[in-house]
Homo-oligomer: A and B are copies of this chain.
Amino acid sequence: MTGGPSIRAVPFSKSTGGIAVRLLSDRHRRQLAAIATRMRVPARTILYREDSPLSWIFFNSEGVVKAFRELPSGKRSIAAFLFQGDIFGLAENGLYVNTTQAVTPVTVYRIPSDLLTDVLRRDPELEFHFLTKVTHELRKAQHRAIVLGRRDAAGRLATFLTMLEKGLLHKTGATSIPVPMSRTDIANYLGLSLEAVSRAARQLTREGIVEFEGRHIAHVVNRARFDTLVAAL
């Protein structure tokens, strides 16, 4: 949302989800700006497909992206949602591991992976930022795995809402949580059926814990019970 060609919008400049991410120096910004391409794409745009050859690493600057795998059974498993500040482009043996698709209109920075590798190998400080970023993704993945260990659908959904909430920059007193993705996406992320997610949402409403305003905004009505439910891992 910063106008012009400024690299300020590159996500390194902000904190995400509670960990302190050091700010990029101007030198680093310039370095990245020299090799990055800014892209604005509409929702549903596919950025790359699984098993296609790795060519770019991406930075999400604005909007939400989902990373998923198509399973042999035809089901799809969403590995992660990428928010502002997240990097993505995970590959194995030179092939992307997931397919990534814009959930909302998205602004990303795209850097050729070989160029990025070169820059990183020459600049340990910058590389350290990446190490931090990937470590952060690792924590997110482990956290998701813990959530998937839960049996109860309502608890999983509540925990998911917490994730979304923590991703925000905690506007004080803001009780509304934007839920940009579809129920189907949530189901695929939580390892539940669409119906189970729908029923879980209803249950949270019925019990006076969460209220939904349309399908894309949630309000935590009873914070105490909400927190209890989330903590009841």
Contacts and interface: CB of A to CB of B under 8 A. Distances in A.
B138 A145 contact: no
Interface string A122-159: 11110110110011011101101110110000000000
Contact of A125 (B18, B69, B121, B134): B121
Contact of A135 (B90, B93, B142, B145): B90
Interface string A39-69: 0000000000000000000000000000001
A99 to B, nearest CB: 13
A171 interface: no
Kindly state the interface size class of chain A when it binds its partner.
35 or more
30 contacts: A18-B92, A18-B93, A19-B93, A20-B93, A69-B146, A71-B146, A71-B233, A72-B233, A77-B145, A77-B146, A79-B146, A90-B139, A90-B142, A97-B139, A97-B142, A117-B128, A120-B128, A121-B128, A123-B124, A124-B124, A124-B127, A130-B131, A137-B138, A141-B141, A144-B145, A145-B145, A145-B148, A148-B148, A148-B149, A148-B191
Interface of A: 18-20, 69, 71-73, 75, 77, 79-80, 90, 92-93, 97-98, 117, 120-125, 127-128, 130-131, 134-135, 137-139, 141-142, 144-146, 148-149, 191, 231-233
